[in-house]
Structure 1
């Protein structure tokens, strides 16, 4: 088995372990314990092996976060395949549900993504925007609901704003996250107005992430 196929296989095995061990090198190291018999290891991977497969230092953690995000999009697709028809609303709710098992670890994971490897700014909102954009794009792609005639549903920027706000809310108030998403989806004119200015929205994401990181004393 080559390095790339081994890496892909172990990343998949690592995903269910995130809820217990977080987005950590430990999670990646323990993935080999869950290989099928007789391939399963008796001991976790060494730190050297983790670096060789997934990257040195925090790069390995970023690799795990990226794999988890990719799997989140795949979970949206599976939900759509199962139901044969999914609305934008259903797709966004499904993506929030995907977060739930690992919510305790998400602030630290997103803080890592928002922290550049070197230099400034100390908190970079671009990864959060890219993440929300991928979720919004997937929700639009999966939706086959012809009854959605409000123009803002077709505006990618609005959906990025909706999902970002709902996910940020979920980190601090998980019980009301789905109701909050519904309130945003129903307030179409307010949403469209609030995210029309990309620079203004980027500033909102920056302030939100910076506030979460500071309150959790993550960095």
Structure 2
């Protein structure tokens, strides 16, 4: 239990360090200096591995924690509608926008030497943002409408976030345009297989264009 609590505490303390140190093992190591009873020195690499995983696994752990914090920030935004909730989530990206392609690559790339894209982390991320936006807005749909609404918003948010990576200044306008034509987006993207393929190809294109792989 003590180890679990320490791990959670260090992850939270590492989040502000992402802005200056990226989604790195170094950020996790330095987080120990901000404990209520600070360590005299950063965590050793062996300690980082023990708490957060070997190699890139520690970076994935930090990225996942940062993504989770984004949903927490959404809940703290005074909003009663989906549009404001999704806007707030895009704003959360802004301080680390230049770091996100590499962070997303770490999450999405398989361990294979062929650098295969696994769309599941992207799908899970988009779905969780969509669900949070629905909860914030007080959405009370049930049954198939519940799934359709979230699938549509997941597609919209994922598309807007990918757009944000290449054109930050137009991201909010682009998101609004998708929300205003959500029926068209839903019809083209909410079927699971098509959405997964779309996300995989889009992430691959963005990451390759940034020279991540």
What's the TM-score, normalizing by structure 1? 0.89
Any gaps of 5 or more consecutive residues in structure 2? Answer: none
Q: CA deviation at 1:86?
A: 1.7
Aligned length: 209
Q: How does 1:5-154 map to 2 (within 5 A)?
A: 5-36=5-36, 39-79=37-77, 83=78, 85-118=79-112, 122-144=116-138
> Structure 1 residues 179, 153: CA separation in 2 closer, same or farther (over 3 Å shift)?
farther
Task: State which drifts further: 23-32 or 181-190.
Answer: 181-190
Report the Cα distance in structure 2 between the residues aligned to 1:49 and 1:153, rounded to whole angstroms.
42
Report the Cα distance in structure 1 between the residues aligned to 2:171 and 2:127, rounded to whole angstroms.
19
CA contact (8 A) 1:14 1:27 kept: yes
What's the TM-score, normalizing by structure 2? 0.91
> Structure 1 residues 145, 129: CA separation in 2 closer, same or farther (over 3 Å shift)?
closer
Any gaps of 5 or more consecutive residues in structure 1? Answer: none
Report the Cα distance in structure 1 between the residues aligned to 2:107 and 2:182, rounded to whole angstroms.
30
Report the Cα distance in structure 1 between the residues aligned to 2:80 and 2:148, rounded to whole angstroms.
15
Report the Cα distance in structure 1 between the residues aligned to 2:7 and 2:194, rounded to whole angstroms.
39
CA contact (8 A) 2:156 2:182 kept: no
What is the aligned partner in structure 2 of residue 174 from structure 1? 168
CA contact (8 A) 1:152 1:192 kept: no
- CA displacement 1:138-190 (0-9 Å, x = unmatched): 111111379xxxx8996111101100000000111111111110111111222
User: Aligned Cα RMSD in Å?
Assistant: 2.1
